[in-house]
Amino acid sequence: MLVAALGLSGCDFNRAEKKLAEDAQQLENENFDTDLTFNSVTLEDFDKKGKLWWKVKAEQATYSRDQKVAKVKKPNGEFYQDGKAIVKVTADGGEVLQDGKRIFLRGNIVATDVRDGLVMKGNELEWQPEKDVIFIRNNMTGTRKQVKASAQKGKYLTRLRRLELDGKVAAESQEPNFRFNTEQLVWLVEKDKLIGEKPLQMERFEKTTVTDRATADKGEMDIKAQVVTLKQNAQLNIIDPPIQVNGNLVQWNIKDRLIASTQPVTIVNAKDNVTLTGNQGDLDLKTRVLTLVGDVNGAGGPNQSQLKSDRLVWNIVTQAFQADGNVTYRQAKPPLNLAGPSAAGTLKDQQVVVSGGRVVTEFIP
């Protein structure tokens, strides 16, 4: 057994991905001396406090002529943090730098965070212990419990347990059965959260059938709580009941089947040709009841009747409603305007009763 202590000082954390790939390629093409080849090798290093930083065992190690780089075959090792093993890793091969900058592993990478079971795979891995970061390139995947994600490349911040995925990101979860597609995604592994800061698409499905779809400029998902939050230009299409929800902040509680927004929201029921808007609102998908508050406007029915109020409770299925506060109602056939404190009825039947105080009725000849 050959034990080599190799110092790791870390490279610039913000170095461009292109430069990292170039460095990796340069190492792979390094001129190695076959006379400096050893079998059954253990390489390890310690931080400034004397705590183990990493340990790599290999079937074989060959050193470069200047002995600054060791090329290893079938490496199997652990990465450490604060003296404790946090990630176990295996690969087909790789390079270890004596000048202390980083470790490169290549081919069939399997890196497992022993703290929470996150398994990362790919074809290239780079470990920078001083920066507590692992880079995985060339078709990476991450799997933990009911979540599986894939991307062209990724970065895992080991201290934060934060996996940043980049390039053609696809994530799936079970319970709820969900798909998540975007270009960049952050997976807060310990907190069971997915966060997207780029335009994204989401799908909820049962077995292989898509039941609901959503798009937004940004969004996040609390996997454990089964809550999706859509931000900026959000559009949520629910299959049952068949409605579309639009807004800049839409929260979708999948488990409890609730949709809510504390910002202006628009509800479209294309089947009944009804559009409703309000400053905020919530929809109970179990009871099919929608509640809108603040500058509520509704339009629809056979003759595009119009309804305005301060608050509206609406049944998506029956179109029955209860409106309160500064209510006005207009219909085209027969032409009629109503105004009053409260109103109840249905738009599709044009049966509306205004009550609660002073009521104004205007018949238009």
Provide the pLDDT for residue 364.
Answer: 47
Contact call for residues 362 and 340 (beta carbons, < 8 A): no
What is the residue range of 314's domain? 264-365
Q: Residue 7: its pLDDT value, please?
A: 32
- Mean pLDDT over the full length of the chain: 84
Number of domains in the chain: 1
H helix or E strand, kind and range, residue 268: strand 265-269
CA 56 distance to own-chain centroid:
33
Task: Of 104, 110, 109, 113, give the one whose Cα is nearest residue 84.
Answer: 113
80 touches 109 (CB < 8 A): no
Residue type, position 242, single letter: P
pLDDT digits (tens, 9 = 90+) for 148-157: 999 999 999 9
Tens digits of residue pLDDT in 22-55? 555 555 555 545 556 778 888 888 888 888 888 9
Do the domain assignments include residue 292? yes
pLDDT band for position 101 (cuts 50, 70, 90): low
Query: Do the Cβ atoms of 109 and 74 come closer than 8 Å?
Result: no
What is the maximal distance between C-alpha atoms in the chain?
105
Q: Which of 98-102, 173-177, 284-288, 289-293 has the lowest mean pLDDT?
A: 98-102
Q: Are 91 and 124 in contact (CB under 8 A)?
A: no
Looking at residue 153, the DSSP 8-state letter turns out to be: E
Q: What are phi and psi of 279, to 5 degrees?
A: -70, -25
How far apart (Å, rounded) are the C-alpha atoms in residues 64 and 37?
10
Answer whether residue 299 is part of any domain: yes
Q: Tell me if 131 is assigned to some domain.
A: no
Specify if 345 maps to a domain. yes
Task: Tell me whether residue 226 is in a domain.
Answer: no
Confidence of residue 14 (pLDDT cuts 50, 70, 90): very low
Q: Give the Cβ contact number of residue 99 at 10 Å.
A: 12
What CATH number is attached to the domain comprising 319? 2.60.450.10
4 in a structural domain:
no
The average pLDDT across 100-105 equals 80
Domain membership of residue 243 (yes or no) is no
At 22 the pLDDT is: 56
Global pTM value: 0.81
- The stretch 230-237 carries a mean pLDDT of 95
Share of the chain above pLDDT 70, in %: 85
Residue 329 — pLDDT band, cuts 50, 70, 90?
A: confident
pLDDT digits (tens, 9 = 90+) for 264-285: 999 998 888 889 999 999 999 9
User: Residue 155 has which token pair?
Assistant: 């970065």
Flag whether 12 is in a domain. no
Distance CA 249, CA 263 (A): 6
